[in-house]
Structures are given as structure tokens and as C-alpha cells.
Chain A
Amino acid sequence: ETGVTQSPTHLIKTRGQQVTLRCSSQSGHNTVSWYQQALGQGPQFIFQYYREEENGRGNFPPRFSGLQFPNYSSELNVNALELDDSALYLCASSRLLPGRGGTEAFFGQGTRLTVV
């Protein structure tokens, strides 16, 4: 039990649609990161929010966007869905920036998105 919950757990969308994935972090965790994990691969960094501001982004197009809210929840939005967006999307939260002061990140169970 990591205290990080994601919803929904599974989702099927049609190509071209938009999707919003949600994450509820542990209280007091100022940093949330989102990852995409395709089958057989490790989590790929999408972006990171610290105190409601984006402060790092991986190699993902602008149609991947996010929000972080004061109540320690966050969203990942993906517009114009493509078939290759099918993956497990993981949210991770930490008290500080990951790695700072020995801080590890706590992951949710993920949202399995299938684009058809």
C-alpha cells in the first residue's frame, strides 16, 4: 500500500479521442511524476510537477499535458489518441524531487489504457 491511487484502472478509447487519467498522491507529497510503460519496457518519463508547476518533461509531444492540484491530486491528459498510446500509465509521488535528500517515489497501481 503506497498511498497513491490511480483511476480508472482500465480504459478503452478510440483513436482520435481525448482521455484524462487521475492520480491521488500521499498527503504532503509535493512532487508527482507520470510515466508511460509499454509492454516489455521500463517506465518512460512523461513529465513531472512540483508544487503545481511543470518542472521537467520527457520526450513526449504536447498532446500529453498535465495538472497538479493543491489537494495532492493530479491529472494526465492525452489529446488526439493514437494506437501507440496504448500502455500502462503510472503516477508516482514523492515528498521532494525524486532523489533529493534520499527521497524515493511511491507509485500507484497504474491505469491500463487501450486505444482501438
Chain B
Amino acid sequence: DQQVKQNSPSLSVQEGRISILNCDYTNSMFDYFLWYKKYPAEGPTFLISISSIKDKNEDGRFTVFLNKSAKHLSLHIVPSQPGDSAVYFCAASADDMRFGAGTRLTVKP
């Protein structure tokens, strides 16, 4: 059962522009949402999170937006940098944490 979905397997943006990564979920019991970033040969590393009681959380170039009614969240990276190129996983948590399939972001110089 795919409770967390990332429908775009890949995204390519130009350096300096905005990257928007999307995520949808089906389980209304999820109350905490996280984004992880993964480089090859490394485990996922935590990037940013948001509680279900909020609709926006910002940390530097990274902002996560949550739309509970639509069961949708997004990660905005602005401005995008080549070092942001990685696979980004959306995760949602109730009593355990479930992941989407990931979106491979490529930021071109």
C-alpha cells in the first residue's frame, strides 16, 4: 500500500531557479511530514519537516508547504544550486515513518 506518493521520478532545473518537489499522501493519521535528501552510497539525511498543525515551515533556501485538505505537501528550494542535485524523499509519520519513491533533482549550472 503506497501511502506516500511522489509522482515525479525526476526534475531538472536551472541553477538559481526554483525547484518544486511534490508529494501526496493517503493516510489522514499522518501527523508529521519530513523531507530527506539522499546522495549515492549514503543513507538519507534529514532536510526539513513540518507538523500537521502548520501549513508552512521555512529553513533558509528550503520551504515545505502542507495542504492537509488536499493531502499534499511540497518542498521549494530557492535558489537551486548544483549541490542540491540528489534524490529527495518525502516521508510521513504516524507511529512509524513511510516514504515516497523519491524524486531525482538535477540542478544544471
* A residues neighboring B (CB under 8 Å): 2, 4, 6, 33, 35, 40-45, 48, 55-56, 58-59, 90, 92, 97-100, 102, 104-110
Taking CB atoms, residues of chain B closer than 8 Å to A43 are: 44, 89, 99
Verify if B94 is at the interface (C-beta below 8 Å from A): yes
CA distance A100 to B34 in the complex (A): 12
Q: Which of A45, A102, A107, A110 has a CB less than 8 Å from the CB of B96?
A: A45
Taking CB atoms, residues of chain B closer than 8 Å to A33 are: 96-97
Given the known interface contacts A104-B46, A109-B43, the answer about A42 and B6 at a Cβ–Cβ threshold of 8 Å is: yes
Taking CB atoms, residues of chain A closer than 8 Å to B99 are: 35, 42-45
Taking CB atoms, residues of chain B closer than 8 Å to A41 are: 101-102
Decide if B95 touches A105 in the complex (CB within 8 Å).
no
Taking CB atoms, residues of chain A closer than 8 Å to B100 are: 42
CA distance A41 to B93 in the complex (A): 18
Verify if B1 is at the interface (C-beta below 8 Å from A): yes
* B residues neighboring A (CB under 8 Å): 1, 4, 6, 9, 31-32, 34, 36, 41-46, 49, 51, 89, 93-102
Distance from A36 Cβ to chain B, minimum over Cβ atoms (Å): 11
Distance from A8 Cβ to chain B, minimum over Cβ atoms (Å): 14
CA distance A55 to B99 in the complex (A): 18
Kindly list 18 other residue pairs between chains A and B, CB separation below 8 angstroms, not including A43-B99, A58-B96, A99-B32. Answer: A4-B43, A33-B96, A33-B97, A35-B99, A41-B101, A41-B102, A42-B89, A42-B102, A45-B98, A56-B95, A90-B43, A97-B93, A97-B95, A97-B96, A98-B32, A98-B97, A100-B93, A105-B46
